[in-house]
A and B are shown apart, each in its own frame.
Chain A
Amino acid sequence: MSNFSVGFRTSGSVQILDLHGELDAHTAAELEAAIQKCQQENQVRILINGSDLLYISSAGLGVFMAYIEEVRESGGDIKIAALQAKVFNVFDLLGFPMLFDIMESEEEAVEKFSEAKAE
C-alpha cells in the first residue's frame, strides 16, 4: 500500500535520510516518525536526500515546516539535497529555497553542515 520509505545513513555527524517514493498526506507520518527518531537520538543535523523522491504533496512539505524550528533551536538544521527537477519545482513554487538550504548534491549539503560547524 505505502509506496514511501525512509532510509537512514550517516555521513560523519550528519544524519542522512534517503526518501523513496511518494510523500503525501498518507505517508507524511513516516517521515515525521523518522525525524522524531533523529531528534530522540540527538541527531539534529539532518540531511534529506531526495534523489529517489518521486512526488511531494503540500502535506509532505508540511512535515519540514513542522520540525525545522525545533531542530534549529537545538542547534541543528534540516537541509535538502539532490531533489528531482519536478519535486524541486514544488519546493520552489512555495518559496522553500528561502527557508531551507536546498542543494544540488548531497556532498554540497554535507559540506555546508561542516562549514556551519566550523563557524
Chain B
Amino acid sequence: MAEYSLETKPSKSLRKRLTERGPMVLYGILFAACLAVGIGFHFQQWSSQVPLSTTLFLLYSAVTTVGFGSLWLFLRRYYRLRQDSPAKTLWSLLITGFILISLAAITSRIGRIDAPGLDLGLGFDLNTGIALTFPTIVKMVVISVLLILFAFLLLNRFQGLVLVKRSKTSQRNWNVMLFSMTLTAALTLMNTPGAGQSQWQNMALAVSVVFMVVNSFRLSWIVFLSFKEKLATIGLCLVFATFLILAFGIAQFSSDLFVIGGSGFLQHFFVPLATFVEQASLFGILYCSTAFLSLLFHLPTSGDYEQRAGERATMHSLAHLVGQVFDAETLFATIASAPVEAGSADASWLVMPDPSSGSLRHHVVSSHNISPDRISELVDSALLVDEMTAQGDPLIIREAPADHRLNVRPGDQMGSLLVVPLIARDELIGALFASKAVVSGFERDDVETISIFAAQASVAIDNARLFEQQVEKERLARELSIAREVQRKLLPQSVPQLPGLSMAASSISAQEVGGDYYDFVQLENDRYGVIIGDVSGKGTSAAFYMAEMRGIFQSVSRLAATPSIFLHHANMALAQTLDRNVFISAIYMIVDLKNETLDIARAGHCPAAAVRLSGESRFLRTKGLGLGLDRGDLFLKSLEEERINLEPGDVFVLYTDGVVESRNPEGEEFGYDRLLVTIDENRHEDADGIHSAVLSDLKNFMGNEVYDDDMTLVVLKWHGLPLEALSPPVQSMEESK
C-alpha cells in the first residue's frame, strides 16, 4: 500500500504540475517572443531613423499587447490559488516592488551624464521620438518591463485583498475597473510620447478612477486582523503608499526620484502600457490610503472587538460543554459559572424552583464568585424572576445601589445586575443572574451573549431531566416486572386434581400487578377450600393487599370450620391494615367430597354462577359485606352461608368484576346474563372446556378492546364421585410445592 502510493505520487503530482504549469510555460514563451519581436521593431526604427508606418505601428501594437497580455495571464495564473494573509501580501509586494524599482532605477542611471543645469533628455530624438542609440533601446525595454511587471503584480496581489468575502457585485466592480483601465489605456494608442491627453481620454480616466475608488473601499480583510496585525499592516500601508507616490508619482511630480525618466521610457516603449501602469499605481496609492485610514479608525475598537469575540468563544464552548453533562449538580455549577468564566460578569448564580420541596419559589441552586447567603442578603432572586417574567424580557438593572428592589449599597461590589430566563419547551425552568461591580456594566451584546448561552443551558437542563426521568422510568419498569413475577408466584401454579371434581382457573392483570386473588387449599376429611378475592382499586396498592389476603388465607383457612368463620377472621385481620377507602370482596367455598356438599359464603363479591345439568341456572347471591367495610359486629351479622348438595354435572363459576364489566367497542358490558348463558351452553364440558369457552366468548365480545380491569375466572365442575375413588387424594397444591 505504502510502496504503491510512493510510486504513484510523483507521477500524479508531475501530471498535475504539467497541467498547471503548461499554460504558464506557454504564456512565458509567448511573452518572450512578442517582446523580442517588439524590440525588433524598435531596432528597425533606430537603424532606419524613420518612424514606423501606420501598418507596422499597428502590428507592433498588436504584438506588444499580446505579449503583455500573456504576461498578465501568466501572473494571474500564478497568483490565482495563493491564499496569503493581507500582511504577507503587502509585505511581499513591497519587497518585490522595491527590488523591481531598484533595478529600474539602477538601469536608468547607467550611461547617464548628469550635467547640472542641462537637460540632456532621455536619449530620444525630440521630433521623431526615435531612440538615438541602441543602448537607449535596451534601457527603455528593461525599465519598461520592470515597471509593467510591478504594475501587473500590484493589481494581481491587490485583487486577492479586494475580493475577500467576495460577492457578485464586488467581483463585477473589480472586472469593470480592470476593463475601464484597459480601455483608457487603449484610447491613448495614437498619442505621441510625452503629449498631453485629449478630453475623451481624460473622461475615460475619470471613469476608471471612479471604479478605483469603489474598489478601494473593499476592505473586509481588516475585520479579521488581530490588534497586532492591524498595527503592522498600518505601517505597511503607510510605507507602501509613500513608496508608490515616490516611485511613480502623482502626475509625474516626483517620478524622477527613483527611476529617472521612468514614465518617459515607458511612453516611448508603448503609450497605452504607460497609461495602464500609471492607473495601476494610482489605484495602489488609493487602496493603501483607504486601508491606512480604515485601519487607523478600527484600531481603538479592535481591543473591544477581540474581547467580545473571546467572550463569545468561551460562551460557545461552555454551551457545548453543558450539553455533555447529565449530572444535575455539575450541570448547575457549570451554568452558574459560565458568565464569570467568559469574562462577561464578576459574579453569577442560577436560580430554579425546587420541585422536591413542593415550592415554586425560585431559589439559588448554584453560584459563582458569590455565596448564596450573600446573594439572599443583597437580592430577592424570586422577586426579580417574577419581574422578569412579567416583562417577558431579560431584566437589566443598570444601577443596583439605586434600585429599590435590591438591598445593595455602594461598595457592595454589585453595580449592575442582569437576569435572563432559562426557558425549555415554552416553560420557565429558572433564571441566570449575572452581576458586575460597575454600574451600567451590561451592554446590549452582553445581554445577547448571556441570553444565547441561557437558551443552550436550558436545553441542557431539560435534556438532563429527561435523561433522569428515563432512567427512573426504566428502573420503575424493572421493579414492576419483578413485582409481576413475585405476584404470579402468589397465585397457584397449578390446579389440584381431585377425584370427581374438575377445576380450571386463570387471572389476568390489567397492569403489571393487580388486586385479584384466587387460591385452593386442602382441608381435613376430603374437604377443599376455594377462594376468590378482589381488592378495590388497581395496581401496586391493590397488589400488596392481595398478598396480605393470601397470607391470611393460607394461615387461617385450615382453622376455620365454615366459610363464614373464615371470612369473619379474615375481616378482623384485614381491619387492622386496610386503608379506610380500601376493601376486599371475596367468596369462599368449601367442597366436601365425601359428603358431596358445597358450603359457600360471599363477602360483597360478584355472586358465583351455579348451573345444573338440567340447565337450571342461578347466581348464589347470599348476603354479606365486603371485607374491610365494617370493622365491628355488622360484618358477621350480615354474613349468610348456603349449603348446596352436589349433583353430578353441577358447575360453579367464580369470577371478578373485570369479567362482567368488560366492554365491547360499543361500550356495552359483558354482563351477568351473557355469562350465565355461556356457562349454560357449555355445561356439558368439563371445567377446562367451560373455562376456555367463557374466555373465548369474552374475547369475541370485547373485540379489539383492551382489558382495563383485572380479570379472574375460576370454574369448578362436580362430575360425581366413583366409589372406588374415595381413596387418598391424588395431589394438592400444598404438596406440589
Contact = CB atoms under 8 A, between A and B. Distances in A.
Contacts of A86: 669
A99 B623 CA distance: 13
A59 B623 CA distance: 21
Interface string B528-547: 00000011111100000000
Given A25-B537, A62-B537, A62-B582, A98 B604 contact: no
B624 interface: yes
Interface in B623-678: 623-626, 629-630, 634, 638, 657, 661, 669
Contacts of A90: 657
Contacts of A57: 536, 657, 661, 709
B581 interface: yes
Given A58-B536, A58-B657, A98-B634, A63 B581 contact: yes
A61 to B, nearest CB: 7
B228 interface: no
Contacts of B604: 93-95
A59 B625 contact: no
Q: Of residues A62, A63, A66, A96, which shows the largest number of chain B Cβ atoms within 10 Å of its Cβ?
A: A62
Interface string B579-603: 1111101000000000000000000
B663 to A, nearest CB: 10
A107 interface: no
Interface string A78-108: 0000000010001001111011000000000
A92 to B, nearest CB: 9
Contacts of B621: 93
Contacts of B536: 57-59, 61-62
B339 interface: no
A8 B629 CA distance: 27
Interface string B606-624: 1100000000000001011
B599 to A, nearest CB: 19
A95 B537 contact: no
Nearest to B607: A93
Interface residues of B, number: 29
B691 interface: no
A28 B731 CA distance: 45
A100 B583 CA distance: 16
A87 B326 CA distance: 51
A94 B634 contact: no
Contact of B581 (A66, A94, A95, A99): A66
B580 A93 contact: no
Contacts of B626: 94-95
Interface in A42-97: 55, 57-59, 61-63, 65-66, 69, 86, 90, 93-96
A55 B708 CA distance: 14
DSSP class of B's interface residues: helix, strand, loop or mixed? loop
Q: Of residues A93, A94, A95, which shows the largest number of chain B Cβ atoms within 10 Å of its Cβ?
A: A95
B605 interface: yes
A61 B538 CA distance: 13
A26 to B, nearest CB: 10
A55 B709 CA distance: 14
Report, as a range, how many residues of chain A touch the other chain.
10 to 19
B582 A95 contact: no
A90 B536 CA distance: 12
A65 B607 contact: no
B584 to A, nearest CB: 9
Given A95-B629, A99-B630, A25 B583 contact: no
Q: Of residues A57, A58, A98, which shows the largest number of chain B Cβ atoms within 10 Å of its Cβ?
A: A58
B538 A25 contact: yes
B28 to A, nearest CB: 84
Nearest to A58: B536
A28 to B, nearest CB: 8
Nearest to A95: B625
B158 to A, nearest CB: 72
Contacts of B661: 55, 57
A58 B629 contact: no
Contacts of A66: 579-581
B638 A58 contact: no
A10 B182 CA distance: 102
A99 B585 CA distance: 15
B512 to A, nearest CB: 15
Given A93-B607, A94-B629, A99-B625, A65 B638 contact: no
Given A57-B657, A58-B537, 5 more contacts: A58-B535, A66-B580, A86-B669, A93-B607, A98-B625
Interface of B: 534-539, 579-583, 585, 604-607, 621, 623-626, 629-630, 634, 638, 657, 661, 669, 709
A-B pairs, top 10 by smallest CB distance, nearest first, are A58-B536, A66-B581, A62-B581, A95-B625, A94-B604, A94-B626, A59-B537, A66-B580, A62-B536, A65-B581
